[in-house]
């Protein structure tokens, strides 16, 4: 089987597995406990927090360990979006993960916020000019995903965070598909989310950053763990495992990006002209619109031939509605039903790409 669904999840690395096993066997104390075993676990958590903060150039006290991207997004947005000071408008891109819209829709239904969808240019980008023109005196929060999980469209977060800072508006960035995958300067971002299983770490491990300088109202009351933002016992093996692979992957971001670019170029060079390529910016995610077949049928048929890939994000696969990210790019509802997503990792090869394009072209080209 050839695996082309790395935007959904990745295989745990050997170092991540080794770290998880070692910590689970030897550091089983609750990190909140005051005895020897608890202190040992707490030291590992603190070391992990310091390590990640140094790599990302952020304040360690702002890092919160979570169960993954969805929890990071929703806890972070809940904390940042409840600030008022006469402002109640949230600006959000039309290309967000479903977990973002779930919490924003709830805030809107509860009349805690007005949510306004930002326009994008013809490439799906929110330009600094677009953002500047849409900011108002009522804007309390800006929410923009760094890399779209369906299309691979990359937003220029470095420029957008400058616009947010100039207007003194918090910016929250879903970096789940960006961390370790695209060069991204995390400093100066009010809040962001990451997920360990997207970069060869364990499932159930995630990261949320909320600047200690930001005004927040935590989602839960009377919580004393993790700066008051998230209750519960920490998964120490998962945290250390995620940190281990993050240390390995983050310095290789540019090298791996170049490898993925070669895979993307091979796919686009060898795909049939009858199959439309949707050009995202991140080379690890490639979208294809098939000419005369439903995407689900293609996933099943190609799966029987040994290829694993997806239509939309795994989190939205059971949602019967057309994907809003694709619709925002001007696709018709019918076209969205013919859309497939191929997502690579650095262990994929050009030979695998050629096998894939040969089979896909034969069936649908």
- Specify the CATH class of 14-251 in words: alpha beta
pLDDT reported for residue 224: 66
For residue 246, what are the CA distances in angstroms to 25, 31, 100, 301, 353? 21, 21, 24, 35, 27
Q: Is the pTM of this model over 0.85?
A: yes
Would you kindly state where each structural domain of the chain is located, as residue ranges?
2-9+253-364, 14-251
Contacts (Cβ under 8 Å, ≥6 apart) of 261 = 283
β partners of residue 141: 90
Could you tell me if 124 and 95 are in contact, meaning their C-beta atoms sit under 8 angstroms apart? yes
Please give the chain's pLDDT, 365 residues, in tens: 999 999 999 999 999 999 999 999 999 999 988 999 999 999 999 999 999 999 999 999 999 999 999 999 999 999 998 766 789 999 999 999 999 999 999 989 988 899 999 999 999 999 999 999 999 999 999 999 999 999 999 999 999 999 999 999 999 999 999 999 999 999 999 999 999 999 999 999 999 999 999 988 777 776 667 776 788 999 999 999 999 999 999 999 999 999 999 999 999 999 999 999 997 899 999 999 999 899 999 999 999 999 999 997 555 556 677 888 899 899 999 999 999 999 999 999 999 999 999 999 999 98
Query: How far is the first Cα of the chain from the last one, in angstroms, to the nearest whole number?
Result: 22
For residue 341, what are the CA distances in angstroms to 36, 136, 151, 280, 284? 49, 36, 7, 11, 10
Q: Which helix (H) or strand (E) holds 289?
A: strand 285-289
Could you tell me if 218 and 229 are in contact, meaning their C-beta atoms sit under 8 angstroms apart? yes
Q: Which helix (H) or strand (E) holds 335?
A: helix 333-336
pLDDT reported for residue 231: 84
Chain Cα centroid distance, residue 281: 15
For residue 7, what are the CA distances in angstroms to 10, 137, 283, 310, 317? 7, 37, 11, 9, 13
pLDDT reported for residue 365: 83
- Specify the CATH class of 2-9+253-364 in words: alpha beta
β partners of residue 339: 289
Sign of dihedral through CA atoms 68, 70, 75, 79? positive
């Amino acid at each position: 089987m050839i695996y082309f669904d790395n935007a959904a999840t990745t295989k745990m690395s050997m170092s991540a597995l080794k770290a998880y096993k070692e910590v689970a066997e030897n550091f089983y104390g609750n990190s909140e406990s005051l005895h020897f075993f608890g202190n040992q676990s707490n030291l590992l958590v603190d070391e992990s927090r310091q390590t990640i903060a140094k790599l990302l150039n952020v304040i360690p006290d702002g890092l919160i360990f979570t169960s993954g991207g969805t929890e990071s997004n929703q806890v972070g947005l809940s904390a940042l979006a409840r600030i008022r000071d006469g402002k109640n408008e949230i600006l959000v891109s039309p290309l967000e993960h479903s977990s973002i819209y779930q919490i924003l829709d709830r805030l809107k239904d509860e009349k805690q916020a007005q949510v306004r969808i930002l326009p994008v240019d013809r490439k799906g980008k929110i330009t600094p000019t677009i953002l500047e023109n849409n900011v108002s005196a009522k804007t309390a929060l800006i929410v923009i995903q760094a890399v779209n999980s369906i299309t691979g469209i990359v937003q220029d977060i470095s420029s957008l965070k400058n616009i947010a800072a100039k207007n003194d508006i918090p910016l929250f960035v879903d970096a789940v598909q960006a961390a370790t995958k695209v060069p991204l300067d995390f400093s100066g971002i009010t809040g962001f989310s990451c997920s360990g299983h997207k970069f060869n770490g364990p499932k159930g491990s995630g990261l949320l950053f909320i600047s200690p300088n930001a005004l927040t109202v935590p989602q839960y009351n009377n919580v004393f763990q993790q700066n008051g933002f998230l209750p519960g016992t920490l998964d120490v093996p998962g945290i250390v495992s995620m940190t281990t692979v993050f240390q390995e992957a983050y310095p290789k971001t540019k090298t791996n990006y170049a490898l993925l670019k070669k895979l993307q170029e091979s796919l686009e060079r060898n795909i049939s002209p009858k199959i439309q390529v949707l050009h995202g910016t991140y080379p690890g995610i490639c979208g294809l619109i098939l000419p005369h077949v439903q995407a689900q049928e293609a996933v099943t048929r190609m799966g029987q031939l040994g290829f694993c890939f997806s239509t939309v994000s795994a989190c939205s696969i059971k949602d019967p509605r057309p994907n809003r990210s694709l619709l925002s790019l001007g696709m018709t509802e019918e076209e969205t039903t013919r859309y497939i997503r191929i997502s690579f990792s650095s262990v994929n090869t050009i030979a695998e790409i050629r096998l894939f394009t040969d089979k896909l072209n034969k069936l649908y080209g």
